Structure 1
C-alpha cells in the first residue's frame, strides 16, 4: 500500500541524537495453527506501531516484517525505534491475530521495546477461516443504466493494521461483479466508474463480511460533483504561479469521515492557477495545499461566499460557486537554537511547533524541523497566531498532532505569538 510505504520511509528516517548508533532490538517467536498445534510456514508477521499522518489522523503502520520459516519461527530484527509496539500475523487462509491472541488492536497487548532488547517467546496462534465470495451488481443512480468501463475492489476499513492486498475486478457489461477470497471482517467495497467524459467517480459502501457468501449486493454508482477553483498569491500576478516551484502545487480535499482515505482528491494546479476536482462524491472535506514553497502559508479558502479553511467544505446537492484559495508569501519566521542543561549546543534533535489551541482541521499550522549539529533551526511560512514550541532528541513522525502527546510537554513548552512577516528569535532548553 502506498500510504504504508510512505510512512515506513518516514519512520525509517529518524534523526540521530549523536554520532553513535543506538543498539538495535529484536522480537522473535513462533506461529502455530490454533487447531492442530502445528507450526505454520510462510506466515507474515508484522511489528506495528501507532502513529499519525500529516492530517493528524491516527494510523497503525508496519515498521518491520518477517516470514515464518519451516519451523514456524520468525525474527523481527534491526528495530531501532523505542516505545510501544504490537505484533500481528496474517495470511489469507487465517484470521489476523495480535499478540497475545487478540482479534483486534483494541484488546491487543503492546510490547514496550527499549534499546538493545531481545524479546523472545512472542508466539501467535492462527485460526483457519472460510474465505467468502461477494457477488453483486453495479448500477447507476437511477438503477437502470449499467455503468461501463468499471471496476470494483474491497478494502479493509483499517487497511494499515496488517498489510494485505486485494485485487481489482472488472465489472461485466450488465453490471455484474464477483469479488473472490475475502476473509471475514469490516470492509469498504469501492466501485470505480470511468465515463466517456474525463470524469472519474468512486463509490464507497461499507460492508460486514461474516462466514457466508454474499449474493445480490447492489453498488450504486452515485454521480460525482465537479469542483472548480483557483489558487492565487496575495498581491501577485498569475504569472508568478507558473514559475517553479509553484507548479508543484496540489489542492487536497480530504474526507473528514473516511478512515481509509479512499476518496481523497489532490488535483495539480494548472499554470494559470486553476484546478478541477472531477467526480467528487458527496461528503464533508478538509482542505489543504501541498507543494508550497517553505515561506508560504494558506491565508484563506472560500467556496462561493463560505469560509472553508477552518470548517471544511460540504459537497452535496447542486454545487455552485468555485473554490478560491489565497496563499501568502509573507509568513512569519522563527530562528533559534536548542541548548542542553549546560547551556551548550544540544546538537541534533527536533523542534516542534503547534497551535496553542489544537486545530486538527489545519494541518498547515503544525511544523516539525530538525536542528543542525550546532543546535540551530529555522521555521518559515507561519500563519499569524499563537503557538507552542517543544524540543526533543527525537519524535515519531506526526505524533505531535496528538493533543494528549503534546500535553506531556506542557511544562516545557515555549509559548509565542507571531504576526505576518515577523521574525522571532528564540532560545530553547532541552
Structure 2
C-alpha cells in the first residue's frame, strides 16, 4: 500500500550530497534522475500535514544502492513507523548499583553503514537506565545498527553523550538470541526479545607519549587507537590529546590488538578510509591490550604531508 501523505525521498551520496526524487502519491512510485555512479542511501520519510521537514519520529524507510552505468528499477521502500526496543544492562561480576556513574550510561544504536549514518544523523539512544539495569530506546527505525554505549554529560534525560567510558567496556550484546557485538543488529521493525548488554569493569588503559623524529615530545596532538580487526566497529576506536609534555592517556579499552596513530594533520574521519589506512599502517604503534592492563607506549608523530 502506497503512502497517502506528503513524502520526501532523498538519495545521500558518500560526499554527503543530497538528490531529491520526484514522487507520485497516487501509486507510491518515485524516480531520481541524473545520478552519477557511486554508492548511495535512498531514504523516504512521510511528512505529517503542515510538516516542512522530516523528524526522527515519523514513518520512514531506507535502502543502500550502488549506481553503475545502468538504471536501477523496482527499488522497494517499505515505510514503517519507528518503534521502541527494550533491553537490560548487566555489569559483569558486580551489582549495577555499585557501579560509579551507572545512571549516566546510555545505550545507542548507530547505523552500521557509513552512508546510512548520513541519512540518520540523530542515532536513537536510551534515556536514564532504571536501577535494575532495564532501559528502552525509542524511535528505532528498521535497519542495521551497531550497538555502542556512552556516558551522558548529566544524570537524567539528555541527548548529549560521550563515548569516553573510562570505567568499563562493552563485552557482550545479544538481540533476538543473536550476537550483535561483532555483527550488525538487524532490525526489521519488531522487537521480539530485549537487547541484552553485558559491561565489564575491567577495561585496558594506555599511558603514552608522542615524539617527533628528534624524539622530542609533541603537545596538542590527537592520538587515535584503531583496532587491527573489526575496523567497522566504531565503539573500538578511542581518542586522546597530548598534554604540554606530549603525554596522553586512553582508557576504557576493549581487550584486543590495536595500533596507535598520531597524525600532525589529518582530515576528520579519514582514518575510516581503508585505502588511506593501508598507506599509513607501517607508522602505527602496535599494542595488545588485555583486561585491566595499564600499558606504557611511545608513539611516533606522523608529519603533515606524508
Q: Same fold (TM over 0.5)?
A: yes
The structure with the larger Rg is 1
Could you say if the C-alpha distance between residues 275 and 429 of structure 1 is closer, same or farther in structure 2, counting changes exceeding 3 Å? Answer: same
Report deviation, 1:383: 0.5
Look up the match of 2:259: 388
User: Pick from 362, 366, 372: which aligns with 2:237?
Assistant: 366
Shift of 1:250: 3.6
1:313 and 2:206 equivalent? no
Count of aligned positions: 261
Equivalent residues of 1:338, 1:427 under 8 A apart: yes
What are the residue-to-residue correspondences of 1:343-362 with 2, within 5 Å? 343-357=215-229, 359-362=230-233
**Post-superposition offset of 1:351:** 1.9
Structure 2 equivalent of residue 236 of structure 1: 94
**2:45 — aligned with what?**
190
* Distance of aligned partners of 1:253 and 1:231 in 2 relative to their CA distance in 1, 3 Å threshold: farther
Describe the SS at the equivalent of 2:220.
coil
Checking the alignment, whether the CA contact within 8 Å between 1:336 and 1:426 is kept in structure 2 is yes
Relative to the length of structure 1, the TM-score reads 0.51
Q: How does 1:131-150 map to 2 (within 5 A)?
A: 138=3
Displacement of 1:270 in angstroms is 3.1
Instruction: Find the counterpart in structure 2 of residue 421 from structure 1.
Output: 292
Deviation, structure 1 residue 234: 2.4
Question: Which position in structure 2 is the counterpart of 1:254?
Answer: 111
User: Is the Cα–Cα contact under 8 Å of residues 82 and 139 in structure 2 kept in the other structure?
Assistant: yes
Q: 1:279, CA displacement in angstroms?
A: 6.1
TM-score by length of 2: 0.69
Q: Per-residue displacement from partner, 1:29-51 (whole Å, max 9, x unpaired)?
A: xxxxxxxxxxxxxxxxxxxxxxx
Q: Distance in 2 between matches of 1:162 and 1:279?
A: 25
- Aligned match of 2:124: 266
Q: How does 1:138-217 map to 2 (within 5 A)?
A: 138=3, 152-158=7-13, 161-162=16-17, 184-185=33-34, 188-191=43-46, 201-204=59-62
Q: Distance in 2 between matches of 1:232 and 1:404?
A: 38
**C-alpha separation in 1, matches of 2:43 and 2:178:** 32
Higher strand share: 1
What stretches of structure 2 of length at least 5 have no aligned partner? 36-41, 50-56, 66-75, 152-162, 302-306
3-state SS of paired residue (1:361): coil
CA distance, structure 2, for counterparts of residue 365 and residue 314 of structure 1: 20
Question: Pairwise mapping of residues 212-227 of structure 1 onto structure 2 (< 5 A)?
Answer: 221-222=79-80, 226-227=84-85
Structure 1 unaligned spans of 5+: 1-135, 140-149, 170-174, 208-217
RMSD of equivalent CA atoms: 4.0
Separation (CA, whole Å) in 2 of partners of 1:257 and 1:388? 22
Provide closer, same or farther for how the CA distance between residues 276 and 342 of structure 1 changes in structure 2, counting only shifts above 3 A.
same
Q: In the aligned structure 2, how far is the partner of 1:423 from the partner of 1:378?
A: 10
